[in-house]
C-alpha cells in the first residue's frame, strides 16, 4: 500500500505547541514530506526540529505554494488558533484531509457557525476532518481501572484540569473541548447543553468551576468541570464517570502516564499517537472509530463550547 504524504503546520514549539510530536507520530505510519512555518526565518529551525526525529521535510511559508509544489494527502494543523481558519479552507479547497489542533477555529462570535460550514464542506468532498482531542483515547485505560463501569447509563460526569495560565474565558476555550469530547463518546448527545452555572464572575480568575446538564438518555447527565491554573508540571487532571474517578499521574522522568483510583493504578498508553494513527487510518478509508473527534461531533462541540464561553462572558460583564 502506498504510504500517505503528510504536511504539518506549526512544528516549531512556542509555549504549548505539540506540532513536533504530531509530526513524529504521523511519521510512524506516513511520510511527513513538508511543513509550514510562519516566516522564512523559522524554516531552518523547523527542519532541525524534524531532523531530530529522522524526518526530512521541505519547509514553506505559504500553504498554496506547499500544495502546488509538494502535493500531500493530509495536513496536520498545530499552529496557533488564529491561523486555523485560513489553513482549513485552503486544505478543503485543495481536497486535503485535516487533523487540526483545538479549538478548530477561534476568532469571533460566529465560530460555531463557521465550524459547521467547514465540517459540511469537508464532508461534501469526502474529506476527513478531525480535531485533536486526545482524552477519548484514554478510555481503554479507564475501562481497565473500572471494568464494566461504562456499561451503566451516564448520570454524573466530573473532570478537573490545570491549564498553564488563568483567565476565565481563556481557560474555557483552552480546556472545555476535553470534557466535551469525552462526554460525546460516553453518551451521544441528543440536544443542547442547559443549566449553565459558574463558580466565579471574575474574568481574570485563576480557578473556575462550570456545571451544566448534558443532553443524553432523556434525563441527561449532571456535569461539573473544575479548572485551576498550574504553571508547573505535572499538572493535576482526571475525570470521574458516575462517581468512579481516574486521577491522571505523570512520571516526569519519561512522561509515562497512569490512572489511579485509591490503591489501584493502571498504565495509560500515550493517547496522542493513538489519535494520529487513527486519523491516518480514517484517511485511508479505515473508518472513524473515535466519534468524539470527527464529523458532526466537531460541530456539536463547537456549539457547546461557544455557548459556555458566551455564558461566562455574560456573567463576567465581558459581553
According to the model, what pLDDT value does residue 77 have? 97
According to the model, what pLDDT value does residue 289 have? 47
According to the model, what pLDDT value does residue 1 have? 59
Distance, first Cα to last Cα, the chain: 53
* Partners of 294 in beta bridges: 130
Domains of the chain (ranges; CATH) run 5-101 (3.40.50.720), 135-275+304-315 (3.30.360)
* Sign of the torsion formed by the C-alpha atoms of 73, 21, 309 and 186: positive
Q: In 3D, which of 89, 100, 93 has the Cα closest to residue 9?
A: 100
Angle between helix axes 296-315 and 168-175 (nearest 10 degrees) is: 170
Residue-by-residue pLDDT tens, the chain, 319 positions: 579 999 999 998 765 568 999 999 999 999 999 999 988 888 999 999 999 999 999 999 999 999 999 999 999 999 988 899 999 999 999 999 999 998 888 766 688 999 999 999 999 999 999 999 999 999 999 999 999 999 999 999 999 999 988 888 889 988 999 999 999 999 999 999 999 999 999 988 899 999 999 999 888 999 999 999 998 888 899 999 999 999 999 998 888 999 999 999 999 999 999 999 999 999 998 655 455 566 788 999 999 999 999 999 999 876 5
Amino acid at each position: 500500500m502506498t504510504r500517505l504524504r503528510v504536511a504539518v503546520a506549526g512544528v516549531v514549539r512556542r509555549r504549548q505547541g505539540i506540532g513536533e510530536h504530531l509530526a513524529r507520530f504521523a511519521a510512524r505510519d506516513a511520510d511527513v514530506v513538508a511543513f509550514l512555518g510562519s516566516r522564512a526565518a523559522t524554516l531552518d529551525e523547523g527542519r532541525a526540529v524534524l531532523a531530530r526525529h529522522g524526518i526530512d521535510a521541505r519547509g514553506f511559508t505559504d500553504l498554496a505554494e506547499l500544495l502546488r509544489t509538494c502535493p500531500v494527502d493530509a495536513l496536520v494543523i498545530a499552529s496557533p488558533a488564529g491561523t486555523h481558519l485560513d489553513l482549513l479552507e485552503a486544505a478543503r479547497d485543495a481536497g486535503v484531509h485535516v487533523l487540526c489542533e483545538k479549538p478548530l477555529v477561534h476568532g469571533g462570535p460566529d465560530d460555531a457557525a463557521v465550524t459547521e460550514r467547514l465540517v459540511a464542506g469537508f464532508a461534501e468532498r469526502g474529506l476527513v476532518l478531525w480535531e485533536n482531542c486526545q482524552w477519548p483515547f484514554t478510555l481503554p485505560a479507564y475501562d481497565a481501572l473500572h471494568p464494566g463501569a461504562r456499561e451503566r447509563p451516564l448520570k454524573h460526569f466530573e473532570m478537573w484540569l490545570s491549564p498553564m495560565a488563568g483567565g476565565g474565558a481563556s481557560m474555557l476555550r483552552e480546556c472545555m473541548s476535553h470534557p466535551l469530547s469525552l462526554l460525546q463518546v460516553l453518551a451521544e448527545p441528543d440536544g443542547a447543553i442547559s443549566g449553565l452555572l459558574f463558580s466565579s464572575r471574575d474574568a481574570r480568575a485563576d480557578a473556575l468551576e462550570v456545571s451544566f446538564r448534558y443532553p443524553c438518555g432523556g434525563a441527561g447527565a449532571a456535569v461539573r468541570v473544575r479548572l485551576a491554573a498550574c504553571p508547573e508540571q505535572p499538572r493535576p487532571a482526571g475525570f470521574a464517570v458516575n462517581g468512579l474517578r481516574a486521577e491522571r499521574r505523570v512520571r516526569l522522568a519519561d512522561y509515562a502516564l497512569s490512572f489511579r483510583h485509591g490503591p489501584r493504578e493502571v498504565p495509560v498508553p500515550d493517547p496522542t499517537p493513538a489519535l494520529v494513527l487513527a486519523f491516518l487510518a480514517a484517511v485511508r478509508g479505515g473508518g472513524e472509530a473515535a466519534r468524539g473527534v470527527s464529523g458532526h461531533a466537531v460541530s456539536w462541540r463547537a456549539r457547546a463550547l461557544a455557548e459556555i464561553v458566551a455564558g461566562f462572558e455574560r456573567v463576567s460583564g465581558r459581553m
